[in-house]
Amino acid sequence: MRLTAGESVTSGTSRDVLGRGLKVLGRAIREQPRIFAVAVTGSVLFGLMVIASAYVVGAVVGEVVVPALARGSVGVGALALAAAALLGISVLRVVGIFGRRLGAGYMQFRLQAAYRRRVTRRYLDLPLSWHHRNATGTLLSNANSDVEAAWYPIAPLPFAVGTLVMLVGAVVSLFLTDWALALVGLAVFPALFALNVVYSRRMAPRQARAQRLRAEVSGIAHESFDGALVVKTMGREAQETARFASRAGELRDALIAVGRLRGVFDPMLETLPSLGTLAVLVVGAIRLRQGAISVTELVSVAFLFTVLAFPVRAIGWVLAELPRSVAGWDRVRRVLDATGEMPYGDVALDPAEPTPATLAFTDVKFGYEPAEAHLPGTEVLGEVSFTVPPGKTVALVGHTGAGKSTIASLAVRLVDPRAGTVTLDGVDVRDLTPASLASTVALVAQVPFVFDDTVRANITLDRPGIGDDEVWAALRLAEADGFVAALPDGLDTMVGERGTSLSGGQRQRLTLARALAGRPRLLVLDDATSAVDPRVEAAILAGLRAPADGAGAAASILVVAYRRATIALADEVIYLEQGRVVARGTHTELLATVPGYADLVTAYEQAEHDREQTRTYDEVTPLTSGLEVEVDR
């Protein structure tokens, strides 16, 4: 996994982590001002009641307990008044705690949910070239643990703000009580802040490294699970386990380093308020002997220092989490600030248009961005021009790397050309609305993706206007109605993650039916029937050219083809070499006039013949009953 610039910033600038962390918190406050105000109000109420409780306790000791001990009797009225005062303060403290915690939690979870949506929305806006440069595990970490880390300090933030108000009130109260005791407070409070700042700076690089390693561990795990078939068939279980264990061990060591630093600083942060209380008692005893303060004032100040120890820790909690927050925010911001999204236009093709669409490439050039900025890009297409007439089938044929799949991606606007235009019915695809483009053209990729859901849900994708009749019509066109009808629950059968309960050919036909259910006017097939029997493939393509059963008008078809039978069905064949169109015509014409084309098709045919001798197509899946075997025909 690459270490991005955004990930290295935090570890390299630990001195300004406090300022950057405060900016992150400021963003949170600006986005949720009302909820933050509620939480801070509750926290301030709690802080004021802490100060009030200190002086009420002092008054109870100095005005009720000490005189009672001197008289040898306790006044019931005085005790009742003291109890009522303490009870009232306690109730207000509970109200403050409730408002603070409710507001802080609500604010934190709202921010996390909002930024998960923003990150995910950004993923969908960014082009495939950006995704190719970023590991899936990193993207998962950005949307999950990095978002959580960025807003983790929000939980103690209102408490810390209320604590600051409480500290100001406490210092003012100390000066009003006695200047010597106030000097003790002024010595303890700055020491706490200084210790927290040092702690935050030392914690910054450790938290940044731990956050980066979380993403790397997630990436390795995802890669290993996603490639489980390769791992197991190649006997790489031990190596993959060792690779994961090595990076997990680094994460463990990084988290231990974080815990070790906390283990050093936490006791110090806990001890300082206790030392302050001890200093207050010593100085207070001297001032009491001098007659400068009363017992009531001494008890109040000592109790105040005692109850301040816990709230002051809230400031430490915020400062301690700022390095992690900055590390997470840097990684989230890297996604949100990423450039390269493809803006859509406002032109909409007539959705009720019954005729097939016309696709035209005019002098299209395309190249992939380099993985690293200093490396040259990869030129894929150079001045490609061709047209798919309405209702016709055009086949793309060429060696591996000739640019066939790139043309398919350009046709459905997964990527945009560097030069030239791609048009649908004469309209540049960049000027179309997303809805118009999606309803006009559909892509069926070489590698089928099936959701862990029912057959029906995989085909409809919750699109309006697609009922069971439309689903079965699409399945018939895809030659998939037979195996779906044989499944235990028919359309309601769960197909498993990535369709693992289906064979490769069944998955391909299911994804083809998904595309057909939307009745596209242009269908782009990127070797989308490679796993089915050639005879079934021919039946599918013939059905697409003249659909029946109310499945809609025939669509224009752009197909990346390898099999001779598939190519022969095309109205025109585009022969590509190194990203350029070198010949076009019917299959028969190219066989007779283009030696390179003839050699390639012959090689395809021989390879297909060899595969047919060594495998059986579309064997029955575990979901079908008995020992029957289904062969595509």
Which residues of the chain carry a pLDDT beneath 70? 1-15, 66, 68-75, 129, 132, 137, 197, 200, 204, 208, 211, 222-223, 225-235, 306-313, 340, 351-354, 369-377, 529-534, 545-554, 605, 607-633
pLDDT tens for residues 572-592?
999 998 889 999 998 888 888
Q: Hey, is 619 helix, strand or coil?
A: coil
Whole-angstrom Cα distance, residue 84 to residue 284? 28
Whole-angstrom Cα distance, residue 41 to residue 158? 8
- Edge-first strand order for the sheet with 572-577 is 441-444, 522-526, 556-560, 393-398, 572-577, 580-585
H or E element that contains 43: helix 33-59
Of residues 176, 173, 182, the one with CA closest to residue 280: 182
H or E element that contains 378: strand 378-388
Residue 377 identity: G
The reported pLDDT for the residue numbered 222 is 66
Residue 396 CA: distances (Å) to CA of 19, 441, 558, 586, 598: 57, 17, 7, 12, 14
DSSP, res 364: E
Residue 346 CA: distances (Å) to CA of 291, 432, 434, 436, 441: 83, 6, 9, 9, 17
The reported pLDDT for the residue numbered 462 is 83
66 Cα distance to chain centroid: 63
Question: Across the strands, what pairs with 577?
Answer: 580
- Which residues 6+ apart lie within 8 Å of 138 measured at CB? 1, 215, 216, 218, 219
The reported pLDDT for the residue numbered 200 is 66
Residue 193 identity: F
pLDDT tens for residues 94-114?
999 999 999 999 999 999 999
DSSP, res 496: -
At the topology level, CATH places domain 359-451+523-618 in Rossmann fold (3.40.50)
Q: What ranges do the domains of the chain cover? A: 179-292, 359-451+523-618
The reported pLDDT for the residue numbered 351 is 62
Strands 393-398 and 580-585: unpaired
Spell out the SS3 assignment of 328-346: HHHHHHHHHCCCCCCCCCC
The reported pLDDT for the residue numbered 624 is 39
- Tell me how long the chain is: 633
Residue 557 CA: distances (Å) to CA of 34, 441, 444, 466, 577: 55, 10, 11, 22, 21
Of residues 482, 633, 483, 478, the one with CA closest to residue 540: 478
The reported pLDDT for the residue numbered 532 is 67
The reported pLDDT for the residue numbered 354 is 66
512: Cα within 13 Å, side-chain hemisphere: 32
